[in-house]
Amino acid sequence: MTFGEQPAYLRVAGDLRKKIADGSLPPHTRLPSQARIREEYGVSDTVALEARKVLMAEGLVEGRSGSGTYVRERPVPRKIARTGYRSLSGGSTPFRQEQAADGARGTWESRSEQAEASAVIAERLGIRVGERVMCTKYVFRDAGEAMMLSTSWEPLAVTGRTPVMLPEEGPLGGCGVVERMAAIDVVVDNVAEEVGARPGLAEELTSLGGVPGHVVIVVQRTYYASGRPVETADVVVPADRYRIAYHLPVK
């Protein structure tokens, strides 16, 4: 192989990828067998197998037990809107506000429990490892389809023994972090988000309806009050079905 030349398995994967993209291999079509790939491209069984593995890792094809490998249907990505802070109106939750522009029918499930801060979460919250936090896990749905996961951590040094200790219960249950913190005289004045991508964890993909190898978008969000972190969360979105759109006010 000369310098700059692609390995054979990538060239084969690239050609098959192009056929999937232009419709020559439409969704639900059986991918050529390993023997067919070997014959058509003049490559070894190993190269044919590796090419198929590439397409599977990219989420373009899926294996069906006892049947073969098929081209996956590619959904048209939909937007998940993320905006600058807006006060609540009419009792609407922040999640509902953010999705309203796209006509989403948002619902969610949640579960809260006390936990000890891990090293990572302790660093993000500016507390000691092992300090008590309230951990709340959410599954957000649009028309019944799981679209987003979120895990939130709040230091009990801030919210413990207050009416807002449980994010989804009490008089402000379901409201945003800003409103809940304001109720206990904690003024949130800044929020930071970092966006990245990684392969989804098995439990995440099970909840989101993905397959092993699928990539997820991860938004790491932290709310601050006078420089002190009062909540941090990981928001996980399937990258093949959704795009995150930011609409931020210009000041």
Q: Which two tokens stand for residue 203?
A: 């439990």
Q: Across the chain, what does the average pLDDT equal?
A: 86
Answer yes or no: do 242 and 160 share one domain.
yes
Q: Are residues 29 and 115 in the same domain?
A: no
Tokens at residue 220, please?
Answer: 């790491």
Angle at 158 between CA 247 and CA 149, to 5 degrees: 45
Count of domains observed in the chain: 2
The answer on pLDDT for 98 being more than 70 is: no
Segments forming the whole domain that contains residue 21: 8-71
Residue where one domain finishes, among candidates 71, 99, 123: 71
Residue 104: Cβ-neighbour burial (10 angstroms; 0-12, 13-18, 19+): buried
Judgement on whether residues 120 and 240 belong to the same structural domain of the protein = yes
Angle between helices 8-21 and 34-41 (to 10 degrees): 110
Position 2 in a domain: no
| Short-list 214, 87, 233, 251, CA closest to 167 | 233
Token code pair at residue 173: 């249950």
Tokens standing for residue 130: 């092992």
**Does 21 share its domain with 139?**
no
**41-45, 77-81, 103-107, 198-202: the lowest-pLDDT one:** 103-107
57: CATH: 1.10.10.10
pTM: 0.73
Tens-place pLDDT, residues 175-219? 889 999 999 999 999 999 999 999 899 899 899 987 777 889 999
Q: Note the pLDDT of residue 83.
A: 65
In a domain, 124, yes or no: yes
